[in-house]
């Protein structure tokens, strides 16, 4: 019994002094919040912002359920700074950033065709009796 206790204490001391595995000592794993702020108003408008010690930052403001705009930034695992700005409204989510690839021409042409040729038939979701 005494040998088990001594072994457990010795193991605990050894583990406490051992370096952390790499995934526990990365900037992401050890990041802390440097700043944080948020506000929600009675009219549904809101804003928030935060920044972490590993270089992640985010801010957004808007009116709940109607529209929002914001920005975020971080450094990719490859060391590339990523900066994203966006808006979101009744027309969807609209991100902008140098890291976002352009929309292929064939998609743009398809969207133009769809906009120029709106559906004219019956609503296919409505069942006829």
Write out pLDDT tens, residues 39-58.
999 999 999 999 999 999 99
| pLDDT over 80 (residue 24) | no
Label residue 9 by pLDDT band (50, 70, 90).
Answer: very low
Task: State CA 76 to chain mean position distance.
Answer: 13
Sign of CA dihedral 21, 27, 29, 34: positive
Residue 11: helix, strand or coil by DSSP? Answer: helix
Q: DSSP letter at 118?
A: -
Residue 29: predicted pLDDT: 82
What is the arrangement of strands in the sheet containing 45-52, beginning at the earlier edge strand?
33-40, 45-52, 57-63, 67-75, 81-89, 92-96
Mean pLDDT of 75-83: 92
Is the overall model pTM greater than 0.85, yes or no? no
What is the residue-averaged pLDDT of the chain? Answer: 83
Residue 3: predicted pLDDT: 52
Mean pLDDT of 88-116: 94
Q: What distance in Å separates the CA atoms of residue 93 and residue 115, rounded to the nearest whole number? A: 18
Q: Which residues contact 28 (CB under 8 A, 6 or more apart)?
A: 54
């Amino acid at each position: 019994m005494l040998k088990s206790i001594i072994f457990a204490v010795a193991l605990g001391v050894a583990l406490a002094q051992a370096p952390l595995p790499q995934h526990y000592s990365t900037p992401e794993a050890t990041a802390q919040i440097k700043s944080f702020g948020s506000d929600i108003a009675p009219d549904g408008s809101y804003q928030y912002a935060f920044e972490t010690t590993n270089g992640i930052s985010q801010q957004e403001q808007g009116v709940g359920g109607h529209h929002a705009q914001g920005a975020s930034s971080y450094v990719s695992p490859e060391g590339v700074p990523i900066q994203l700005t966006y808006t979101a409204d009744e027309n969807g989510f609209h991100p902008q950033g140098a890291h976002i690839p352009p929309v292929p021409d064939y998609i743009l042409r398809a969207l133009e065709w769809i906009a120029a040729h709106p559906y004219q038939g019956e609503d296919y979701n409505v069942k006829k009796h």
